[in-house]
């Protein structure tokens, strides 16, 4: 069983690594689109951002597919859609084709992280789900974070846009085939959990029934902060902040952003076993929120801090932010087995959707205050901290489900 688990987990890690190159390489891809496709900055914003919007739009129906057909079959089929999207993206020389390709990519790989979590859920005991899934997500995140920077830029320069993305599409297709052939939702000989016979209407109405649970609603509100804080601070404003407030060049700022990405993945690895160590999921998540608010609060209160302190605070913020695996385990505990996919994808819908809202609001703040001033970025940090505080207040009312308690909902 251990060798079988290792093989399945290795394939999942390779799959998630390749998938996230498209998610994390936005800056590198944007430069290539300008140089090799002549795409305007306004069009680039749509091309890069549309993938996340497409991913958010399919979370709920994808959750129904996960619960009905399992993660292996659902992911194998949807990944073929993403491969087609990447081929279209590779060969397109206009904004319309590039947007279409990224839409297909977003739809096809919308459930990549959920796939990892659900398959791990089928292979390990409930108390170890957060630990194992955190390891896989952290390792793949670190690997894709490295590949999506200098190596991707070099490949785009040397081989060109079309060849680079056709090769990436081929690699993802290969791993998708391996998932279909060798991936398993459960170890051999373990019966698939009983799933009630549901019509399509019943499958969707079960989501509304699920949302009547106050604890689950509070967990979903907290899901608004599993991705948006880092995506807004690290993925959007940290680079401009370091360049405009602290005078860093493009390369120096890039190294700082890479350090933030690596810190976030190291944090993911560290969060995994914390729920077992403390025998509490709620305390781990709330502890993460408190630390994020504290670090952002320091950046709000200190006008133009020394460069070393700004970098330290940003890296520390990145390290304490990735509580997704622990929150997912907590959310999973409120639902029966046949609703696990829908619960986790509902979390993803809230989390990914909040990214757009937070980035939009903070963008308005920067514009209204006056470009890239120190005050505008301090207000950005304040907005993100405020979001975390509000979500944490709702989540604080949710009952805890320690790892030592059997999960599965009523």
Q: Give residue-wise pLDDT tens across range 106-122.
A: 999 998 988 988 898 88
As a whole number, mean pLDDT of residues 299-323 equals: 95
Which residues lie below 8 Å from residue 289, measured CB to CB, with a gap of 6+? 225, 323, 388, 389, 391, 392, 395
Q: What pLDDT is stored for residue 42 in this prediction?
A: 62
Confidence of residue 12 (pLDDT cuts 50, 70, 90): very high
Average model confidence (pLDDT) across the chain: 86
C-alpha distances (whole Å) from 70 to each of 66, 137, 187, 338, 340 are 5, 20, 13, 10, 11
Q: What pLDDT is stored for residue 145 in this prediction?
A: 80
pLDDT at 409 over 50: no
Place of tokens 């319309």: 96
Q: Are 148 and 25 in contact (CB under 8 A)?
A: yes
Q: What pLDDT is stored for residue 403 in this prediction?
A: 85
312 vs 259, more confident: 312
The Cβ of residue 9 has, within 10 Å, a number of other Cβ atoms equal to 21
Comparing CA positions, the residue from 348, 337, 67, 54 lying closest to residue 204 is 67
User: CA-to-CA distance for 12 and 297, rounded, in angstroms?
Assistant: 37
Q: Are 233 and 315 in contact (CB under 8 A)?
A: no
pTM of the model: 0.76
Place of tokens 């700022």: 253
Residues above pLDDT 90, as percent of the chain: 40
Start-to-end CA distance of the chain, whole Å, equals 30
Q: Which token pair is 278?
A: 């403390």
The Cβ of residue 351 has, within 10 Å, a number of other Cβ atoms equal to 23
């Amino acid at each position: 069983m251990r060798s079988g688990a290792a093989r399945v987990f290795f394939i999942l890690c390779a799959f998630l690594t390749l998938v996230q190159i498209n998610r994390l390489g936005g800056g590198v891809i944007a430069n290539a689109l300008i140089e090799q496709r002549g795409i305007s900055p306004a069009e680039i914003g749509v091309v890069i951002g549309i993938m996340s919007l497409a991913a958010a739009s399919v979370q709920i129906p994808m959750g129904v597919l996960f619960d009905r057909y399992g993660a292996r079959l659902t992911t194998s089929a949807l990944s073929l859609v993403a491969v087609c999207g990447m081929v279209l993206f590779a060969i397109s020389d206009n904004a319309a084709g590039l947007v279409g390709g990224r839409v297909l990519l977003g739809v096809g790989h919308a459930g990549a992280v959920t796939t990892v979590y659900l398959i791990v859920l089928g292979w390990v005991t409930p108390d170890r789900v957060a630990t194992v899934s955190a390891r896989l997500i952290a390792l793949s995140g670190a690997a894709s974070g490295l590949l999506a920077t200098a190596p991707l830029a070099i490949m785009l320069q040397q081989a060109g846009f079309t060849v680079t993305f056709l090769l990436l599409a081929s690699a993802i297709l290969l791993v998708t085939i391996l998932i279909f052939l060798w991936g398993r939702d459960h170890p051999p000989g373990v019966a698939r959990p009983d799933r009630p016979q549901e019509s399509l209407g019943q499958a969707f109405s079960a989501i509304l029934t699920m949302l009547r649970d106050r604890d689950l609603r509070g967990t979903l509100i907290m899901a608004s902060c599993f991705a948006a804080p880092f995506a807004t601070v690290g993925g959007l404003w940290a680079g401009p902040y370091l360049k405009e407030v602290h005078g860093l060049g493009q390369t120096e700022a890039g190294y700082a952003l890479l350090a933030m990405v690596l810190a976030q993945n190291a944090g993911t690895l560290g969060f995994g076993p914390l729920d077992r160590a403390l025998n509490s999921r709620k305390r781990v998540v709330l502890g993460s929120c408190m630390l994020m608010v504290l670090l952002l609060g320091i950046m709000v209160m200190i006008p133009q801090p020394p460069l070393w302190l700004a970098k330290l605070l940003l890296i520390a913020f990145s390290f304490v932010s990735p509580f997704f695996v622990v929150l997912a385990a907590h959310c999973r505990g409120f639902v029966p087995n046949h609703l696990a996919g829908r619960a986790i994808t509902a979390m993803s819908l809230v989390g990914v959707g909040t990214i757009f809202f937070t980035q939009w609001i903070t963008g308005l703040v920067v514009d209204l205050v006056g470009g890239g001033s120190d005050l505008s970025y301090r207000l950005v940090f304040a907005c993100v901290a405020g979001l975390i505080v509000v979500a944490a207040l709702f989540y604080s009312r949710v009952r805890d489900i320690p790892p030592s308690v059997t999960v599965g909902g009523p």
